[in-house]
Structure 1
Amino acid sequence: MGDIGENTGFDLVVTNGIVVTASEVLSLGIEIGIKDGQISCLGTSLTRSPHTHIIDAKGGIVTPGGVDSHVHFAQDNSPTGDNFTTGSRSAIAGGTTTVLAFASQLKTEESVLPCIQNYHTRAKDLSYCDYSFHLILTNPTPKIMSEEMPLLIKQGITSVKLYMTYEPMKLGDSQLLDVLMAARALGFTTMVHAENSDIISLITNRLEAKNHTTPYFHAISRPQIAENEATYRIISLAELTDTPILIVHMSSEIAMKHVRKAQTRMLPIHAETCPQYLFLLSERLKGTEQDDFAGAKCVCSPPLRHDPNDLEAMWRGVANGTFSTFSSDHAPSTYDHAGGKKLGVKDGVMRYRNIPNGVPGVETRLPLLFSFAGSKPDSRLGLPRFVQITSSDPAKLYGLEGVKGNIAPGYDADLVIWYPDNHFPGTGLQIEQRNLHHAVDYTPYEGMRVRNWPRITVLRGEVKWDRENGGLKGTAKDGQFIKRSLGRIVVGRTGGEARGMMEGERGFWS
C-alpha cells in the first residue's frame, strides 16, 4: 500500500471507508482503486482521472462481497422456490456477489454430464450475481468417478455433495468410501449432509402411528443424536481414507465437538453452519392462533433445536473457528401454495414428512451475522472473522481463492459498503418480507432487527445495489459462471495415518 502516482486510470475509487480484509481492519483513509473489474491497489490519495467514478463510503465499513457457498436455486424438488433470477437478485440486495448452487443428479441417471448442462441452461444470462455449481452425487458409478469427474474438474466444477439421509439421495458407507477415495485421488471438495437415516425413519414411523404429524414433530423426528452419530461416522470414514471433507449445516453441539476434536488432531475436517441455527428454536415449528400450520415455514434439516444453549454452542463454533463457512442453505418453497409447504396438508391433515425442507435466507445471511460483528460490547466475533467465515474461507475451500472473497490486488472488485455504526437509530432496522427480493412469500426472520444493511453492493467494479438510490441497479445478465480451481485445505493436513494404523498401512490398499 502507499501513495499512487499519476496516470493510473482507475475506473472506480472507493474512499472514506473502513476497509476490512480477512486478516485486518485497515485505518480510515485507505482507498480501493479498481480497474477493469479487479482491485488494482489499496492506498492513500489515489489519483483520479476525469473518468474515475468515486464512491464515498461515508465512514462506513467496506467488506468483500459475500460468498454464499450453499444455496438451492431452480431445484426440481422445489418448483415454487427461487430460480436463478429471483434468488440472485436477493443475494445482491443482501451483499452476496457469488453463490454456489446445486446441480442434482437423480439416482436413475448413469451420467452427471446432462445434469450439469441442464443447470448451465437454468443459470446462463439469468443471474444478477456470479455463480458456480456443486454436484449432488446420488449414483457414483465407477465410470462417473473415473471418467466424468475429471471432466467436470476441467470445466471448473470441483465439489460434490453427498447425503447420508433422504431415501432418493442417500449413499451407504461403501459408496461414501468410494467417493472419498476418488476425492483423495482427484482433489475435489466433498460436502456431506450428516444425519443417521435409520434413526429418522424409525422415529418418523412411530410418530405417525401415534398421529404426531404436525410440523413441530419434524424436530422430534430428527434428534441431535442422529446428527451426532452420522458426524462421527463420516469423520471416521474421512480419516480412514485421508480425505478432506466439509460437513454442511451443522446444528448440534456434540456433533460440532466431534469436528473440533478432529481439527485438534490436524485432520482436514471442515464444517458449516447457517443463520437458522444461530437465531431460531424449535418452538417456531408450532402453529399460531391464526394459522396452526405456520410452523411449516421453519421446517428444515437438520431441524431447529429446542434449547437456547444449542444456539449458543453454534455461536461459539462461529467465533472460535470450528466453522469454516457460514452459509444460508437458502432452500425456498413458497408457503401459501399447494405445491410448496402446503404439500404437508392433505384433506385437512398435517403430515410433516410431506413438507418441503428448507428456509429462505440468502438476502438476510450477511446482515444477521454482521449485526454481531465488531468491537461493540455484545459483539460475538471480530470483523476479520466475519470476512473469513462469510467470504474468504468459502472461497479458499471451493477453489475461488485469488478471485473472490477478499479485498486485495488481483481479486475481483466485489465489495459491500455498509452504513456507519449507529446509522440506524434505536434497535436498528427491522427485517420485513415486503422489503426482500426473493420470490418466496415469507421470511423466517420476520420482525427481527439488525444493526446494518448493505448500502451498496459492487460486482466486478460496478454498482449493482444502491439502497438509497432505487435499490437494484443490475440485470439478470450480469452474473457470470465462475470456473473454479481445486479447493484448498483451510484447517488440518493430509498425509497422516488413521488412529491405530501402523505407518504405511494405508498404502497396502489405497
Structure 2
Amino acid sequence: MASNVDLVIHDGRVVTPQGIVESDLAVDHGRIVAIGPAGGATKHISAEGKWVMPGGVDPHAHIEQMSGMGQWNADTFETATKSAAMGGTTSVISFAAQAKGQRLSDTVSDYAVRAKRGAMIDYAFHITLTDTEVKGFAEDLATLIDGGHRSLKVFTTYNIQLNDAQLLNIFRHARDDGALVCVHAENDAIIAQAKKALIEAGHVKPLDHAKSRPRVAEIEAVERICRFAEYLDQPVMLFHISTKEGADAIRAARARGAPVWAETCPHYLFMTEDILDKPGLEGAKWMCSPPQRTADDQQALWDALLEGTLSLVSSDHAPYRFDETGKLSAGPNPGFHQIANGLPGLETRLPLMFDAMVTQGRGGPVAFAELTAHAPARIYGLLHKGRIAEGMDADIVIWDPDKSVIYGGNDLHDNVGYNPWEGRTVTGWPEYVFLRGQMLVKNGRFFGAPGNGQWIDRPELATHPRQHAMGLSTQ
C-alpha cells in the first residue's frame, strides 16, 4: 500500500495496457508509484464510476510553423498546447520545419526557443527535411538524432518534396543513426495533373479540392514508400492514411515483413468529402490533404485500426483561421489551390475517439488508450509517457463517461476561431488532466502556465514494427 504520497486517485476504472483495474492510483514526485490500495496523501480525488486513462500523446501537430506555401499557421505553442490539454492531451510531437538553405541545427534551435517559451504540455519534434544540399547536412542530422530527436519528416509532394534518390538517402541516414522516417505520401505528378485540369476548366471551389488529390495519388506513394522501407529495412511511419487501398497496401507490406507503421486521423474516420460542399467558400474550413474520402473508406480505416494495420490516431492539427490571415489570405474569392490546407484537431481528437470507442463501444477503453497514447509513445520513443504503470510520468486524465457536450461554433482554446465539429455531440469528457502529477485542467478550468512544458528526450526508439503485435484488445 502506497502511503504519504502527493496524490491518490481513488476507486477509478484504471486503464493499463494489460487491461482494466478497478483500483486506486498513487502519484508522487511526478511519477505513478502504485496501482492498488493507497493510504495517506496530500491530495485525494474520487474517480468512482469514471475512467482513469493515460494522458493523450498526439504525435502529429503543426504548431507555430510556416507552411510550404509560406504562411504561418494560427497557433503559438501557448495557444496550441492549452487547447491540447483542455482535450486531454499531455504530450505532443510537432514539427521543426527546415527552411530552404537552413542548417538543421538552426532549425531545431529556432523551434526549441518557441516551445520553451510557450509550451504548457510536454513536447518533442519531428525534424522536417526539405533541403538536403545544405553544407554539413549529414553531420548535422546525425548529431541531432544522437541528441534525442529520433523522428524525421519528409514529403513526396508540395514544393518541399524530396525525389526518390533523396528519399533513399534519408532512409539510409536514418537507418545508420537510429531514427524513424515519417512520410507524407502522395504522388505529386498525379496531383499536379489533376489540379491543372480542374483549374483550366474553372472548377476551383473547395469541393473541387477533393478531386484535385485523387485517391490513386495516395495509393501509389504509399506502395512506393513501403517498398523503400522494405528494401533498406528502415522503419517508416506513413502519415494520415485516408483510403481503403492505402490501408490494404500497408497490410500487405506488413505481412511481407516490411518495417511499416501508419496512422489515420479523426477527420478521415468521421467525415466524408461532402463536408467540403458548402455555400460559397465555407467548405474551405474543412480542406485538408489528403482530403476526406467516402463512407467505405471510413469503414476500412476502422477495420485497419482495430486489427493493428494502422497503429494510432493523430490529430494532424493544422490551424488556419477562416479570414485574410489564414484560409482567405489570397484574397476575397480564392480558388481551392490558393487556400491553406488543414483544420484544427488537438483539442477534439480524444473526445471524438472516446465517444466512438468507449461510449459507443467501437473497440473499447483499452484500445482507445492504445491508439491515442500508448502506441504513439512507444513507437516514437517517449519512454515515460503514454501508459498507466509504476514508474511512468503521472500524465493522467480522469474521464467522466456520462458528460455529453455539443460542440459550438467557436468553443475551442486554440487560435483558429472555428470548431470543425460544430453541432456534433460527444459523450465522455476529460474532467481532470494531470501533467507529471500537476493539475492542468479541472472541470473546464485551466491551471497551466507558458513554459511549464518540458522537452522529451528520446535516447532511442523503443521498438521496431516487427516487434509490434497486430490486433487490439477490446476490453
Which band: TM-score by shorter chain?
over 0.9
Shift of 1:433: 3.7
What CA distance in whole angstroms lies between the structure 2 residues aligned with 1:386 and 1:150? Answer: 35
Which residue pairs with 2:394 in the alignment? 413
Change (3 A) 1:491 1:133: same
What CA distance in whole angstroms lies between the structure 2 residues aligned with 1:260 and 1:489? Answer: 19
Query: Aligned to 1:264, what secondary structure does the other structure show?
Result: helix
Matched, 1:382 2:364: yes
Task: Work out whether residues 288 and 343 of structure 2, in 8 Å CA contact, stay in contact via their aligned partners in 1.
Answer: yes
What CA distance in whole angstroms lies between the structure 2 residues aligned with 1:411 and 1:57? Answer: 20
Shift of 1:343: 2.6
Shift of 1:490: 5.1
Please say which of residues 137-146 and 382-391 is displaced more in the overlay.
137-146
Shift of 1:310: 1.3
Which residue pairs with 1:449 in the alignment? 425
Matched, 1:105 2:98: yes
Which residue pairs with 2:327 in the alignment? 341
Which residue pairs with 2:308 in the alignment? 321
Which residue pairs with 1:294 in the alignment? 282
Change (3 A) 1:224 1:240: same
Which residue pairs with 1:492 in the alignment? 466
Please say which of residues 181-190 and 478-487 is displaced more in the overlay.
478-487
What CA distance in whole angstroms lies between the structure 2 residues aligned with 1:343 and 1:281? Answer: 26
What CA distance in whole angstroms lies between the structure 2 residues aligned with 1:144 and 1:16? Answer: 56
Task: Work out whether residues 65 and 414 of structure 1, in 8 Å CA contact, stay in contact via their aligned partners in 2.
Answer: yes
Q: Where do 1:98-497 residues align within 5 Å?
A: 98-109=91-102, 111-141=103-133, 144=136, 146-167=138-159, 169-288=160-279, 292-305=280-293, 307-335=294-322, 337-344=323-330, 346=331, 349-374=333-358, 378-401=360-383, 403-419=384-400, 421=401, 423-424=402-403, 428-467=404-443, 471-489=445-463, 491-492=465-466
What CA distance in whole angstroms lies between the structure 2 residues aligned with 1:154 and 1:243? Answer: 17
Q: Percent identity?
A: 38
Shift of 1:140: 2.3
Shift of 1:257: 0.6
Unmatched 5+ stretches in structure 2 = 469-475
Q: Which has the larger radius of gyration?
A: 1
What CA distance in whole angstroms lies between the structure 2 residues aligned with 1:144 and 1:188? Answer: 18
Shift of 1:482: 1.3
Number of residue pairs the alignment of both structures matches: 465
Query: Aligned to 2:458, what secondary structure does the other structure show?
Result: coil
Change (3 A) 1:202 1:250: same
Matched, 1:11 2:6: yes
Q: What letter corresponds to residue 484 of structure 1 in structure 2?
A: R
Task: Work out whether residues 239 and 267 of structure 1, in 8 Å CA contact, stay in contact via their aligned partners in 2.
Answer: yes
Task: Work out whether residues 260 and 465 of structure 2, in 8 Å CA contact, stay in contact via their aligned partners in 1.
Answer: yes
Shift of 1:179: 0.5
The one of 52, 71, 77 aligned to 1:84:
77
Task: Work out whether residues 328 and 361 of structure 1, in 8 Å CA contact, stay in contact via their aligned partners in 2.
Answer: yes
Matched, 1:71 2:85: no
Shift of 1:142: 8.2
Change (3 A) 1:18 1:490: farther
Query: Aligned to 1:444, what secondary structure does the other structure show?
Result: coil
What CA distance in whole angstroms lies between the structure 1 residues aligned with 2:82 and 2:409? Answer: 15
Please say which of residues 147-156 and 178-187 is displaced more in the overlay.
147-156
What CA distance in whole angstroms lies between the structure 2 residues aligned with 1:435 and 1:202? Answer: 39
What CA distance in whole angstroms lies between the structure 1 residues aligned with 2:65 and 2:77? Answer: 10
Q: What letter corresponds to residue 103 of structure 1 in structure 2?
A: A
Which residue pairs with 1:502 in the alignment? none
Q: What letter corresponds to residue 195 of structure 1 in structure 2?
A: E
Q: What letter corresponds to residue 379 of structure 2 in structure 1?
A: L
Shift of 1:396: 1.2
For residues 16-47 of structure 1, give each alpha carbon's deviation from its aligned partner in whole angstroms, at most 9, with x where no partner exists.
Answer: 21000123111x2x111111101111111x12
What CA distance in whole angstroms lies between the structure 2 residues aligned with 1:96 and 1:338? Answer: 30
Q: CA RMSD for the aligned pairs?
A: 1.6
Shift of 1:107: 2.6
For residues 216-267 of structure 1, give each alpha carbon's deviation from its aligned partner in whole angstroms, at most 9, with x where no partner exists.
Answer: 1110010110000000001111111111100001101101111011112222
What CA distance in whole angstroms lies between the structure 2 residues aligned with 1:413 and 1:342? Answer: 42
Query: Aligned to 1:54, what secondary structure does the other structure show?
Result: strand
Change (3 A) 1:145 1:393: farther
Shift of 1:287: 2.1
For residues 450-475 of structure 1, give each alpha carbon's deviation from its aligned partner in whole angstroms, at most 9, with x where no partner exists.
Answer: 111100100000111012xx510111
Q: What letter corresponds to residue 25 of structure 2 in structure 1?
A: I
What CA distance in whole angstroms lies between the structure 1 residues aligned with 2:398 and 2:375? Answer: 20
Change (3 A) 1:433 1:58: farther
Query: Aligned to 2:351, what secondary structure does the other structure show?
Result: helix
What CA distance in whole angstroms lies between the structure 2 residues aligned with 1:452 and 1:385? Answer: 16
What CA distance in whole angstroms lies between the structure 2 residues aligned with 1:364 and 1:493? Answer: 31
Which residue pairs with 1:22 in the alignment? 17
For residues 353-403 of structure 1, give each alpha carbon's deviation from its aligned partner in whole angstroms, at most 9, with x where no partner exists.
Answer: 1111111010000000011223x6x421121111111111111111112x1
Shift of 1:339: 2.4
Which residue pairs with 1:506 in the alignment? none
Shift of 1:84: 0.3
Please say which of residues 451-460 and 477-486 is displaced more in the overlay.
477-486
Q: What letter corresponds to residue 416 of structure 1 in structure 2?
A: V
Task: Work out whether residues 323 and 389 of structure 1, in 8 Å CA contact, stay in contact via their aligned partners in 2.
Answer: no
Query: Aligned to 1:371, what secondary structure does the other structure show?
Result: helix
